[in-house]
Amino acid sequence: MKTTVDARPPLSDITVIEIAGAPGSWATGLLGEFGARVIKIGRMGMPPVRWGSFGMRYLNSQDERTRYAAFNPHDRNKESIILDLKKESGRQVFYKLVAAGDVVVEGYRPGVARRLKIDYETLLSINPGIIYCAITGYGQDGPYQDTAGHDINYAALSGVLGLTALKGGPPVLPGIPVGDWGGGFAQAVIGILLALTARRPTGRGQYIDISMTDGLVSFLKGYVADYLETGIAPAPGESVPTGGAPYNNVYRTKDEKYVSIGCWEPWLYENLCRAISREDLIPLQHARGDDRDRVHSILSGIFLTRTRDEWFQFLKDKDVCVAPVNSLAETLADEQVLHRRMVVEVGHPRMGKVKQIGIGIKLSETPGTIRRTAPMEGENTDSILKELGYSSQQIDQLRQEKAIE
């Protein structure tokens, strides 16, 4: 489908102010990819934080900060300003940003924003159209509202982690932070877009209370509906999504790798059985007990006769739901992933061309764009302040007061 790359981005008239942790930063990053101006407020005296597969760590050296900015996909397209929101002069800068802005995204624990005098009620008096999105682990009320937590805790409490286990085994940690991503970042983006739509006829903003735990619980609709109807809770490894059925499972292959099979529909399961010359297994798709175990054992033996990639090439053109279980390196080299531009090259002012992850949402007329790599912390402080009307002398005064960095 033809893409109009010079069309006006859908969020180009929206300004987002970010004072957030990781989930909020990911949410604003997606908004920025579709044209929103995102102004990220950093904390005084705090080195940048790197969140990734190696955990959380502070970046203390200039070289570390430069490299992270070049490869960091979460903060691309953003501007960075460092404010001390505990100081009145720092808050006044923030209030001016809010007066001209559309969305505030924050990730403080409940009550912190009020103590800093940057809560929704305060900002509403400055800008009645402001949309305020607060992302927390458990929400703004309830018995757990002040309880510390991270992704693993939200996944655990919501029941997602308890379902993610092989039969008889311990819970298996998901490969991505499902609470931060699904319960936090995705829910926040949806909430913000809904609030922007609701604002059009009235001009009134609203408060968005995102609980990462709530988001994960909402993802369990199918499980919850079955339980509320039957009173039977699914056991780990017994439900179809967690490996409780031979037709939706992963199988070890000849080369000690794995292939995934997802033939839920009867005709797809039939295609699988015919492809491997085991039509006798067709009536046993929904077998239980010993019959189910026998089907699983038969399929396990068959998949050991070829390599993972041989099975994928053999089955993918036979209308069978099949895919290799890839490593990250294999995913980033996969022809489909590359064709869909999920790995892209972007220019960096110091490091030249660097590779980053692409944009997942494909719009035909107003596609997302990577206009710039992530800024260094505080890189845009002076230019933003001048835009707000501060003189060079006033900016120097704010720096002397340590209200900005």
Mind listing the pLDDT tens digit for each residue in 118-174? 999 999 999 999 999 999 999 999 999 999 999 999 999 999 999 998 778 889 999
Instruction: Please report, for the chain, the start and end positions of each structural domain, with discontinuous segments joined by +.
Output: 15-218+346-400, 241-252+258-324
d(CA 264, CA 248): 7
DSSP three-state, residue 30: helix
Please list, in sequence order, all residues whose beta carbon lies within 8 angstroms of the beta carbon of residue 187, skipping any fewer than 6 positions away. 210, 212, 214, 215
First to last CA, the chain: 46
Catalytic residue check, 180: yes
* Crossing angle (nearest 10°) for helices 22-33 and 187-202: 60
Say if residues 10 and 363 touch (Cβ distance below 8 Å).
Answer: yes
| Predicted local distance difference test score (pLDDT) of residue 196 | 98
Please tell me the distance from the alpha carbon of residue 20 to that of residue 26, in angstroms, as a whole number: 9
- 381 pLDDT band, cuts 50/70/90, is very high
Selecting among 84, 102, 180, 214, the annotated active-site residue is 180
Question: What is the CATH architecture assignment of 15-218+346-400?
Answer: 3-Layer(aba) Sandwich (3.40)
Per-residue pLDDT averaged across 266-287, rounded? 97
**Predicted pLDDT of residue 58:** 81
Model confidence pLDDT, tens digit, residues 282-320: 999 999 999 999 999 999 999 999 999 999 999 999 999
Measured distance CA(310)–CA(337) in Å, rounded: 19
Over residues 97-107, mean pLDDT: 98
Instruction: Give me the pLDDT at residue 354, please.
Output: 95
Inter-residue contact 80 to 40 (CB < 8 Å): yes
Q: What is the mean pLDDT of residues 33-45?
A: 94
Give the pair of three-digit tokens for residue 154.
Answer: 């939200």
CA 162 to chain centre: 21
pLDDT class of 6 with cuts at 50, 70, 90: low
| pLDDT number for residue 5 | 53
Beta strands in 24-150 (DSSP E): 37-43, 49-52, 55-58, 78-83, 103-106, 131-136
User: What are the CA-CA distances from residue 131 to residues 37, 42, 187, 192, 205 (Å)?
Assistant: 15, 20, 15, 7, 5
Per-residue pLDDT for 55 more than 50?
yes
Distance separating alpha carbons of residues 285 and 278, to the nearest angstrom = 12
pTM, whole model, 2 decimals?
0.93
CATH class of segment(s) 241-252+258-324? alpha beta
State the alpha helices, DSSP H only, in 304-391. Answer: 308-315, 328-333, 335-339, 381-387
Q: What 3-state class would DSSP assign to 51?
A: strand
Domain 15-218+346-400 identical in fold to domain 241-252+258-324:
no
Query: Which of 316 and 235 is assigned the larger pLDDT?
Result: 316
**Is the pLDDT at 195 greater than 70, yes or no?**
yes
- pLDDT grade, residue 1 (50/70/90)? very low
